[in-house]
Amino acid sequence: MTPDWSPLNTELVLWREQDLTLPLWWRDDDAIEPTTALEQLCAMSEELGVPVHLAVIPAHASKALATRLAGSPGMIPVVHGWAHQNHAPASEKKAEFRAHRPIDATTRDAKDGLDHLRTLFGPSLAPMFVPPWNRIDREVVRELPALGYRVLSTATPRKAALAAPGLWQINTHLDPIDWRGTRGLVSQEYLISQLVQHLQDRRTGMADNSEPYGLLTHHLVHDEDIWKFTREVLTRLLDGPARVWTMAETLEEDPTP
């Protein structure tokens, strides 16, 4: 069934009329090794001209992944926690970097993740920390700049430009996967409605439009519907008011509050 994109089309017209620009970025999580799905991700990124900030799980990342990405400058590796291991009790939502362990243990894992991926990827690694399940304790966040991180990325519109002194907050906002249900594509009508609301909030000043608008994907679990929607939504935004953002742009800015 073809979704109704007219609400998005209408909103994009308003953005053009008001000469607004949407900074747009793409994050994809859980990479560990070359796969057929990764090849599809690389091909789509190259075709659309949108780099992917690829959140790599350090404890499981292979040298083969580093070799593969070395030939794809549009794939930007970032740090995805340490082992993507849940430390929360069964009564709580999954988390690797919440306050379920001593702070020195979580800080050590964050440092080891950065160090290990720097060894694998060298200067192509961007110092962005992506906590698994997008959950992290404030005490851990405050430690990240001293470890060498410059950006924290979780989910939903940020409340402030800095997550901590010296640390930018750049989140994701649209996730097409129905994680609590079918694990397929969320209703496209719902996704379009959510996207339009996000854009309206930015256009009217209810949300921070200086924060890059993030599409979050997980290539390893995509079916054809998710791939198709990903291509469609990126294409429509790029045909509208969007410009592509990468982390290199923010690294040039001073994060001093």
pLDDT digits (tens, 9 = 90+) for 75-100: 999 999 999 999 999 999 999 999 88
Residue type at 134 in one-letter notation: N
The upper half-sphere exposure of residue 48, i.e. CA atoms within 13 Å in the direction of its Cβ, equals 28
Residue 214, token pair as written in the block: 């993030």
* Least confident among 41-45, 99-103, 156-160, 249-253: 249-253
Share of the chain above pLDDT 90, in %: 94
Asked if residue 142 has pLDDT above 80, the reply is: yes
pLDDT digits (tens, 9 = 90+) for 188-230: 999 999 999 999 999 999 999 999 999 999 999 999 999 999 9
Residue 140, token pair as written in the block: 């851990």
Alpha helices (H) along 98-187? 103-121, 138-147
State whether residue 135 is helix, strand or coil.
coil
Residue found under tokens 């993740």:
113
State whether residue 137 is helix, strand or coil.
coil
CATH numbers and ranges of domains, the chain: 6-243 (3.20.20.370)
Average pLDDT over the chain reads 96
